[in-house]
Structure 1
Amino acid sequence: MNARQGSGGSPDRPARSAALRSWFDTSAGDRRTGPADEERIDWLRAAPFIGMHIACLAVAWVGVSATALWIAAGLYTARMFAITGFYHRYFSHRSFRTSRPVQFAFAVLGSASVQRGPLWWAAHHRHHHVHADTPQDPHTPRKGFWRSHVGWFLTRAGFRTDPSRIGDLLAFPELRWLDRYDTAVPVALAVSLYALGAALQRWAPALGTSGPQLLVWGFLVSTVVLFHATVTINSLAHRWGRRRYATRDDSRNNWLLALITFGEGWHNNHHFFPGSARQGFRWWEIDLTWYGLRGMQAMGLVRDLKPVPAWVLDKAGR
């Protein structure tokens, strides 16, 4: 019998306890197991993520208002930029430079997306680029749509942060804290939205909102839509679109995905030359994250945005 299981085949009490603690402290659930277990979905640890999806059904009870929709859209926009501009282009690829306070501010905003900490995100993404669309790639669509879209995210291996890939980021204790307690910021956001909604209900009733309504629309719905938009780059941008460059993986450029992910859909461009802060290589390839980073550079908040080299553009030919 597996030492981690009781007579009924379910995880033993220490394993369950570790999984529950890992909802708040990721180090509590970081237990090495056999290769087969590493690839299975950890249902107990994944319960809050699944519950967040189910809780979106509460829209039927809390109703909707323009205020709730605007806040949901604003949080989608701000957090998507934090994911694409900082979790991806900055932390994962170091495609520009910034100050430590700005780095931390956008790490916090990215953490509010419920896509785990910046170290986790960078470690997994760097692993993806090394092993893209091979058996070692945890979210290649070659393993099936649902596995690439969300299944990999909920496995025991998927929960773990590999420190060997992020040595440059481990020097920052504030980033390590965000990675370890990756639910702290989302919980704070959820509580703040509830409190804001309750305050508006009392002091500005004409807005027609409430604490439960802002919690459901501003946090739950906005976060779930944000997550699924982000991971379409794993599940869809390696299957549908055009291949400008003959890369070793299946990456494709998809204009629709580029719109909803602020430029990440120019994925074949990115896999051919991942070091650039710009992913829409041509002027007609809309890359909202690039425009945002250019604006931040003009304000002195970021610097040294790495451009697309001329030889990359010449190789594309169009």
Structure 2
Amino acid sequence: MAFLNTVLEPPAYGWTDKCGNLAKPTASQIFKQFFSRLNIFSNRRNWLPFLSWFMVLTLTPFFLLFIFKYFSITLLVVTFLYSMVIMGTHGTIWYHRYCTHKAFKFRNNFWRFITQNLTLKIIPEEIYVVSHHVHHALSDKPGDPYNAQGGFLYCFLADANHQPINRNMSEADYNRCVMLMRHTGVKANTYKQYQKWGTVANPFYTVAGVVLSWGFWFTAFYLIGGIPLACALFGAAGFWAVGVRTFNYEGHGKGKDARREGVDHNRNDMSVNQLWPGIVAGEWHNNHHLFPKSARSGFKPHQVDMAWYYIKFMHTMGAVTSYHDSKKSFYANYCNAIAEPQNKICPETGLLLTKV
């Protein structure tokens, strides 16, 4: 816990105020912090958050070309499916359930590579993974990198302001940070390289991975549907990259207690199950906070979980060798009346009835 309290670089306004409560910065303070974290000229160790937002900026022209030049109802449907369902589900599978929580295990590096690159590469794994461990350890408390109580901007710009790793770790702590990332296949810096670049990820391999991913997918989209399809799907990726930054603000009740009895069973934080993210991306967030290491978070019959379907399919194929599934534990601990048969006496005959 002490390690996770210090593994992220504190913002200029700090995690807490003088009384130990969450420091709630003004919009001006948040934007000042944001632009300072993107300034690679003042500090080259800002390269990773800069890259993250540079990719979003680079995708914007594709989105505009789709809207103003290549727009059609067919492409709109394709764009919707790619951004909301495919990229959303991939984010849950790769970044959330595998990279952060190791909810399942690949047979070999080949299947890991395939899953990693099912969509356009936009979010650097390091930005997501390390900070998400902190999010679970300090959920809705000071130090949570996307604490919804800090407000919308606090969450929306968190990848630059709050999620980069601490740049002044000891070698022992840095090695612990590397261990959080080792299974993802990300090429890690040596401690000396970390001191230079301020990250686990090596900048050369990271940028090369993005270039190769974008080149491959642009070529594939072009061969399938020409420039219109390529622009539409690259624009869709950019739309998703912006939209996903709003999720944790919504997923934690916008800073208020929006939990519902019988729906949101986890009472240790303000996470809520939302219908839309659940259906399109398998992100039943309150369920996930109950069982973060589960490869399935859609436990109830109506909770569609596309990410789980992919993992289960890969397991059937033999590409995934093992996974954690907490559905039985969920029902045993939170929905006993549903999970277990109920024996009753028939009032007319006096016979024992078993509900199956």
* TM superposition score normalised by structure 2: 0.64
Partner of 1:38: none
Partner of 1:4: none
From 302, 307, 312, the equivalent of 1:294 is 312
Shift of 1:179: 4.1
Larger Rg: 2
Q: Deviations over 1:186-209 (max 9, x none)?
A: 433444455456667xxxxxxxx6
Secondary structure of 1:236's match? helix
Quick one: which amino acid aligns to residue 218 of structure 1?
A: L
Partner of 1:102: 111
Task: List gaps (5 residues or longer) in structure 2.
Answer: 1-34, 167-173, 190-199, 339-356
Question: RMSD across aligned C-alpha pairs, in angstroms?
Answer: 3.5
- Residues 199, 293 of structure 1: alpha-carbon distance in 2 compared, 3 angstrom cutoff: closer
Partner of 2:212: 188
Partner of 2:19: none
Task: List gaps (5 residues or longer) in structure 1.
Answer: 1-9, 20-26, 31-41, 201-208
Partner of 1:255: 275
Partner of 1:218: 233
Quick one: which amino acid aligns to residue 103 of structure 1?
A: R
- Residues 103, 171 of structure 1: alpha-carbon distance in 2 compared, 3 angstrom cutoff: closer
Secondary structure of 1:153's match? helix
Between 1:275-284 and 1:69-78, the stretch displaced more is 69-78
Partner of 1:82: 90
Between 1:127-136 and 1:74-83, the stretch displaced more is 74-83
Aligned length: 273
Contact 1:263/1:290 (8 A) holds in 2 = yes
- Residues 227, 102 of structure 1: alpha-carbon distance in 2 compared, 3 angstrom cutoff: same
Provide the rounded CA distance (Å) in 2 between the counterparts of 1:275 and 1:197: 34
Partner of 1:39: none
Contact 2:105/2:320 (8 A) holds in 1 = yes
Provide the rounded CA distance (Å) in 1 between the counterparts of 2:232 and 2:277: 23
From 140, 149, 161, the equivalent of 1:133 is 140
Partner of 2:151: 144
Shift of 1:139: 0.8
Provide the rounded CA distance (Å) in 2 between the counterparts of 1:86 and 1:163: 23
Quick one: which amino acid aligns to residue 111 of structure 2?
A: V
Shift of 1:185: 3.9
Provide the rounded CA distance (Å) in 2 between the counterparts of 1:28 and 1:227: 19
Residues 1-318 of structure 1 correspond to what in structure 2 (within 5 A)?
15-16=40-41, 19=44, 29=47, 46-53=53-60, 56-65=63-72, 68-69=75-76, 72=79, 75-76=82-83, 77-99=85-107, 100-109=109-118, 112-117=120-125, 119-148=126-155, 150-155=156-161, 157-160=162-165, 164-170=176-182, 175-176=187-188, 179-180=201-202, 181-192=205-216, 194-195=218-219, 210-211=226-227, 213-219=228-234, 221-239=235-253, 240=258, 242=260, 244-260=264-280, 262-264=281-283, 266-308=284-326, 310-317=328-335
Shift of 1:70: 6.7
Provide the rounded CA distance (Å) in 2 between the counterparts of 1:127 and 1:29: 22
Contact 2:62/2:232 (8 A) holds in 1 = no
Q: Deviations over 1:189-234 (max 9, x none)?
A: 444455456667xxxxxxxx643x3342121x21123224434431
Q: Deviations over 1:125-171 (max 9, x none)?
A: 111111111110111111101321x211223x534487634505326
- Residues 131, 163 of structure 1: alpha-carbon distance in 2 compared, 3 angstrom cutoff: farther
* TM superposition score normalised by structure 1: 0.71
Contact 1:193/1:218 (8 A) holds in 2 = no
Q: Deviations over 1:240-261 (max 9, x none)?
A: 563522432110111122123x
Secondary structure of 2:144's match? coil
Contact 1:107/1:175 (8 A) holds in 2 = no
- Residues 140, 171 of structure 1: alpha-carbon distance in 2 compared, 3 angstrom cutoff: closer
Contact 2:97/2:295 (8 A) holds in 1 = yes
Provide the rounded CA distance (Å) in 1 between the counterparts of 2:184 and 2:306: 28
Partner of 1:203: none
Provide the rounded CA distance (Å) in 1 between the counterparts of 2:330 and 2:51: 46
